[in-house]
Structure 1
Amino acid sequence: MPGMDWHEAKIITAGVDVGSVGSKAVIMVDGELYAYSVMRTGGVSEETAIKVTNWALEGTGLGIKDLHHIVGTGYGRVNVPFAKRTITEIACHARGAHYIYGPTVRTVLDIGGQDCKAIRCDEKGRVLSFLMNDKCAAGTGRGLEVFADLIAVPIQDLGKVSLSVDQEPPPVSNTCVIFAKAEALALLRQGWLKERVAAAYHAAMADRIVDLLNRVGIEKDFVTTGGVAKNTGIVQRLERLLGIKQLIPKMDPILAGAMGAALFAKALYEKEMGLR
């Protein structure tokens, strides 16, 4: 980041979040974001972990050997070969959300590639309770990708397209992405425009997520993390159903897991060195 010099730093840490769909690496200098990278997770998690970390370090003059502590998290956290510790993505997203959005955060929604987590946390970003969706792509980033391919809309535009309808249609099935896909195909054959079909899927996904949030118990302030946090179609529908606005992120919420891991790495190094 501009104005930061790692040569003057006391502690340099990294968090590597190997997700089922995307992988992220964050480099922190004395607890502040210094560099990061995001890429698609490849077929071999260990190779992806190495690539995404080296990409974050590229051009900084730093190497992996210069990092004081590294924490791995995410779906493939055990496959980060240079990590000194692994920590669950639930704990890392809560801590990362605290850093990105501030200490007033109490409910974190992490919509990952293959699961969705509702997390309650305290003023320090520590997890109090959480719930995960059942094992189905419905209500996840992967489900959105399948749907984007089905109606031939780029994934980055899908949320915006879903909001371009004059009236919200009834939602499709929200229990299974296969059922939802079959239902959407039937609607397209009936002559529905892809915007209306996208709205029906987003409405179904929002309903499913709200049910999860209500079961964990939603408390202000509410935020979203992960790649789906950038989907305006999901975020705006959640805000409408919940009757609350989410906080505006200070940086990309897709980095929350890796950021939380890097913050844990700093705390672990300080403990190891007797600094706390």
Structure 2
Amino acid sequence: MVSVGIDIGSTATKAVVFDGGIRGRAVVPTGWEPREAALSALRDALLQAGIAEGQVGGIVGTGYGRISLPIFDRRVTEITCHARGAHHLCPATRTVIDIGGQDSKVIALDEGGMVSDFIMNDKCAAGTGRFLQVMAGVLDETLDGLGSLAAGAEPVSLSSMCAVFAESEIIGLLAKGLEKERIAAGILDTIARRVQGLAGRIALRDTVTFTGGTANNPAICRVIAAHLGVKLHVPEDPQFVGALGAALIAAD
């Protein structure tokens, strides 16, 4: 059976077409119209797969915008979908770390890939993709540029994890002439400390799989792995793990 998973995140919407393997996938900016973003991602993924919408047997929605479309057969939390997708790609996974646009989460899995525990930060931008995006903007860098800038630099200690206060702090450091490289390293260090704080409230077990678009940044992966003292498993195209999990649930 052909199934589809659509993950409507705060910044990006992802769709995966699955029929025993990934046949098609697409990502579009969510913008101000999550419903339209989801339909656009669905059309693009089906086109890539060469499959008509009428051939789809089930569609599951996840992410912040999962309530926005009536075409979903089920709506499932991103916690469950990331766990399912990560376990499918790497059955040895016992912990999932996901840094999304507006939240970050650490998920514990049992041997069968079911969620046994989780902790989630969704009350503020600290430790999220949005935090990184704002901080990179202050330095006039892209997210990839932020990682490159930070490579090998001694991180400056940022006193605040709050996005608003950290932005003001960084502007002040720049005004004092502190090197951008040290500030960039400090930003990554702040993200890693936030993830470390979350992970410390759950029994962290190998294998640790890092999902979400932030996992595409090797510099961030290195810093988080160093803080946690583990080797991170990063799947190919980690941004699609939640949508894949949704498609697998739809296939069930």
In structure 1, stretches of 5+ residues that fail to align are 1-10, 268-276
1:73 corresponds to which letter in structure 2?
A: T
In the TM superposition, what are the counterparts of 1:194-205 in structure 2 within 5 Å?
Answer: 194-205=180-191
The alignment covers a number of residue pairs equal to 252
| Structure 1 length-normalised TM | 0.88
- The CA deviation at 1:175 is 2.9
Computed over aligned residues only, the root mean square deviation of the Cα atoms, in angstroms, reads 1.3
2:103 is aligned to 115
Structure 1 stretches of 4+ moved >3 Å: none
1:51 aligns with 2:40: yes
Give the letter aligned to residue 214 of structure 1: G
Deviating more after overlay: 190-199 vs 256-265: 190-199
**CA 123–201 in structure 1, closer or farther in 2 if over 3 Å, else same:** same
How far apart, in 1, do the equivalents of 2:160 and 2:58 lie?
41
Q: Deviations over 1:215-254 (max 9, x none)?
A: 12211111110011112222111111121111242x2111
Measure, in 1, the Cα distance between the counterparts of 2:54 and 2:107: 34
In structure 2, the partner of 1:22 is 12
One-letter amino acid matched to 2:49: T
Task: Tell me the secondary structure at the aligned position of residue 194 of structure 2.
Answer: helix
Q: Deviations over 1:83-117 (max 9, x none)?
A: 111000000000111122x1110010010000001
Partner of 1:37: 26
Q: Look up the equivalent residue of 2:222 and give its one-letter code.
A: Q
Q: CA deviation at 1:157?
A: 2.5
| Ranges in structure 2 where 5+ consecutive residues have no aligned partner | none
Q: Is the 8 A contact 1:13 1:262 kept in 2?
A: yes
Residue 94 of structure 2 aligns to which amino acid in structure 1?
R
Q: Percent identity?
A: 42
Q: Is the 8 A contact 1:111 1:226 kept in 2?
A: yes
* Alignment correspondent of 1:74: 63
Residue in structure 2 matched with residue 152 of structure 1 by the alignment: 140
- Residue in 1 that maps onto 2:80: 91
Counterpart amino acid of 2:225? E
1:225 pairs, out of 207, 211, 218, with: 211
1:111-190 map, 5 Å? 111-165=99-153, 168-190=154-176
Q: Deviation of residue 181 (structure 1)?
A: 0.6
- Deviations along 1:170-221, one digit per CA (max 9) or x if unpaired, are 3313431111111111111111122211111111111111010011221111
Map of 2:2 onto structure 1: 12
Which amino acid counterpart does residue 106 of structure 1 have in structure 2?
R
Cα 1:134–1:47 shift into 2, 3 Å: closer
Match of 1:236 in 2: 222
TM-score (structure 2 length as normaliser): 0.96
Match for residue 7 of structure 1? none
Could you tell me how far apart the structure 1 residues matched to 2:127 and 2:160 are? 7
